[in-house]
Structure 1
Amino acid sequence: MRKTPNWAAAIVWCAMGGVALALAGCASSTDATSILNADPPEKMYADADALMNKGKFEDAARKFEDLDRSHPYSPEARRSIVLAAYAYYKAGKAPEAIASAERYTVMHPGTKDAPLAHHIIASAYFDDMNPSNRDQAATRKALEQLKILKSRYPDSTYAQNADNRIRIAEDTLAASEMEVGRYYMKQKNFVAAINRFKVVVSDFQTTAHVEEALMRLTECYMALGVTHEAQTAVAVLGHNFPQSKWYRDAYALLKSDGLAPQQSNDSWITKAWKAVPKLGLGGPG
């Protein structure tokens, strides 16, 4: 005998499935409803701006992000990304500020607010810089962004104000290399020490640490018996910093071994120094 379908059971099954689907889509439907019911972009922008003026920076950042999500093609959306980054920075939320500003630089490079985005990234990393005896990852990232400002956007206000921060970052990195180099010297690991002092002479010639770095290179090369490099280090030191106490010490060290300063054109020190025209041997100024 042919069985009739159990329509009641089928209806119950479909109803249960519908409930499950509704529960599964609850979160996404809330987001969708939020977007569908969003205020016009100009109102959202004004509301976020008002929150900024009240010092409610984190709330302002979220409002700017809501604007970008709700009206991604509106004229206000692009600027809302960088303003969200700025608001997060003012709220002390460095990771969020960096993420938002980096998103802007990827999506809108070279635009009017790109210098501000790089400035926010640089500032967040600069604020997180460690002393010279600790990890320097944040210092390197800050310096990278500051140099981008100077090279890509030289006429921007942020680039014009970056010079002092660049000097501080470079000085911190040079000091860090010097500390590690001195440590290796104490361990009599002269090759490792030379590699650290070499960074200072090659990359941070405008810092005060370069004078000591040249003196320490003299000591290391003398210890290894590489006298022509020691003589070159002292020659460069004496030519550029004749009144330096580090030059007097380096000169005395050479003299104690019957040597005198003598520049070798094949030395990496000479080549590195000539790469900086204002301070290079035989260069102008």
Structure 2
Amino acid sequence: MRKLLILLIAVFLVISCAGKQEQEKNAATLFKEGLHFFQKQKYEDSAVLFEEALKKANNPELAAKSQLFLADSYYLDEKFDEAIAAYKAFLELYENNEDAKRALLRLGLSYYAMLQPIDRDQSYTRDAYNTFLKLREKYPEYAKRYDIDKKIRHLRNLLAEKNFYVAKFYVRIGEKKASLLRLEKIIKEYKDTKIYPEAALLYAKVLVELNKPSEAVSVLTDLLKTRKDPRLLQGVDELLRFIKKKIG
């Protein structure tokens, strides 16, 4: 019985000491252990350690590194919502840090990975677009390295398509004035997108239906000047002939 009691006390002391050592780990040690798991691509484990290191960090440099690697762990683990929050926190605190461009890039890529179909909310599309615009403005050469211009064009097309999708819905339910607002936005802001010709043609049709033929002609004229696409000619020609008959 006495031997058993001694053994239990010894086990308790070992566990207590181990627990105390764990509690006493400083931020640098936690960060180093996190980096070990990160390099082994065990991102869930590394995220836990980087978060602990961040809580205990007593200098700005280590705190910044912990925050960034925490965000990177989430990003590489494809936990994009968590990555977005972590990168935003890093950029709010360390906007002028040398790693800010990497954080801004991956923030944009995290939004980009969460893009939704056109019939759903496009918040991630707008956030990705605005983030990439900021990246290109602040770090043009870095943005060029990652072909950000191509992504920006893609996002502009998606935003224009969303407006067109909503405009067509309004036309379908008879809310023509509401559809004009969406179509006008495409005409003014997204003239360089793929959907612009189709949107301009629909815009002109709605204007005609609202008894604004002269405005419709102006839109069609501008469309023909802007886009030299033979496929537009038939639709534009038919609408212009209809307008001519309407106004006598």
- Are the counterparts in 1 of residues 101 and 139 from structure 2 also a CA contact under 8 Å? yes
Alpha-carbon spacing, 1:86–1:244, altered in 2? closer, same or farther (3 Å):
farther
Matched, 1:38 2:19: no
- Are the counterparts in 2 of residues 122 and 145 from structure 1 also a CA contact under 8 Å? yes
- What displacement does 1:35 show? 9.2
- What displacement does 1:185 show? 1.5
Equivalent of 1:107, from 93, 103, 113? 93
Post-superposition Cα deviations, 1:121-143, rounded to whole Å, max 9, x if no partner, equal: 21222111111111111111111
Question: Whole-Å Cα distance in 2 between the matches of residues 143 and 172 of structure 1?
Answer: 10
Instruction: Specify the code of the residue in structure 2 equivalent to 1:98.
Output: I
Matched, 1:187 2:173: yes
Matched, 1:142 2:128: yes
Question: Whole-Å Cα distance in 2 between the matches of residues 126 and 35 of structure 1?
Answer: 39
Gaps of 5+ in 2: 1-19
Identity %: 22
- Are the counterparts in 1 of residues 167 and 183 from structure 2 also a CA contact under 8 Å? yes
Alpha-carbon spacing, 1:258–1:48, altered in 2? closer, same or farther (3 Å):
same
TM-score w.r.t. length of structure 2:
0.83
Greater share of helix = 2
Instruction: Specify the code of the residue in structure 2 equivalent to 1:170.
Output: R
Matched, 1:47 2:33: yes
- 1:13: which partner in 2? none
Matched, 1:93 2:79: yes
Equivalent of 1:161, from 132, 139, 147? 147
- Are the counterparts in 1 of residues 108 and 128 from structure 2 also a CA contact under 8 Å? yes
> Which SS does the other structure have where 2:244 is aligned?
coil
Post-superposition Cα deviations, 1:56-95, rounded to whole Å, max 9, x if no partner, equal: 1121122222222222315332122111101111122222
TM-score w.r.t. length of structure 1:
0.73
> Which SS does the other structure have where 1:155 is aligned?
helix
- 1:126: which partner in 2? 112
- Are the counterparts in 2 of residues 51 and 60 from structure 1 also a CA contact under 8 Å? yes
Gaps of 5+ in 1: 1-32, 260-285
Alpha-carbon spacing, 1:185–1:47, altered in 2? closer, same or farther (3 Å):
same
Equivalent of 1:239, from 205, 213, 225? 225
> Which SS does the other structure have where 1:165 is aligned?
helix
The count of residues paired between Structure 1 and Structure 2 equals 226
Question: Whole-Å Cα distance in 2 between the matches of residues 47 and 97 of structure 1?
Answer: 20
- What displacement does 1:239 show? 0.4
- What displacement does 1:108 show? 0.9
